[in-house]
Amino acid sequence: MKQTTKEIQIQKRMQLGNISADGFLGKDKRHYLDIIAEDENKILELDYTIDQIADRLEELTAEAFKSPEGPTNFGTLTLDYFSYRGKVTCPFADPGVYAKAKVTARNTENDVQLCWTPLNIHLIRKHHFFEGKGAEFRLDPEQLIKCIF
């Protein structure tokens, strides 16, 4: 299937060094649409929705942000919010900018730990994009669900 000009531009913006030093694809050589399709299938298989995941990430981000002095406990999760200078844009060229920050979460029941950014939440909710395998902020849907639910 021939790519549209828009798809070519998005794929290029996802490469390392364009919007983010590390890019959004990691070592994943697949087209971003193939990455999205695989992750959507996994989420359906696990009986969750994109909105459930994005809503929960927003809730946890807000909880982590409330505690500027370090980690906080929220149910079975230990959350921590780290803020960095600057902002980042969406590789899909949506308007707006997102804080350069990250939230770390560790589920104390199963010891699954991961981190995400405010941009991750947008990418998941609007584009169903969890980033490519090997990307610094890749959120594997199965591991993500194990951690946050």
Query: Which contiguous run of DSSP H or E holds residue 46?
Result: none
User: The dihedral of CA 31, 32, 36, 42: what is its sign?
Assistant: positive
72-74: strand order across its sheet: 72-74, 77-88, 98-107, 113-116
User: What is the DSSP code string of 50-64?
Assistant: HHHHHHHHHHHHHHH
Q: Which of 139, 142, 114 is nearest to 127 (CA)?
A: 139
Tell me the pTM: 0.96
Say which amino acid occupies 53: I
Per-residue pLDDT in tens (0 to 9) along the chain, 149 residues: 689 999 999 999 999 988 988 999 999 999 999 999 999 999 999 999 999 999 999 999 999 999 988 999 999 999 999 999 999 999 999 999 999 999 999 999 999 999 999 999 999 999 999 999 999 999 999 999 999 99
Q: Centre a 10 Å sphere on the Cβ of residue 80 and count the other Cβ atoms it contains.
A: 15
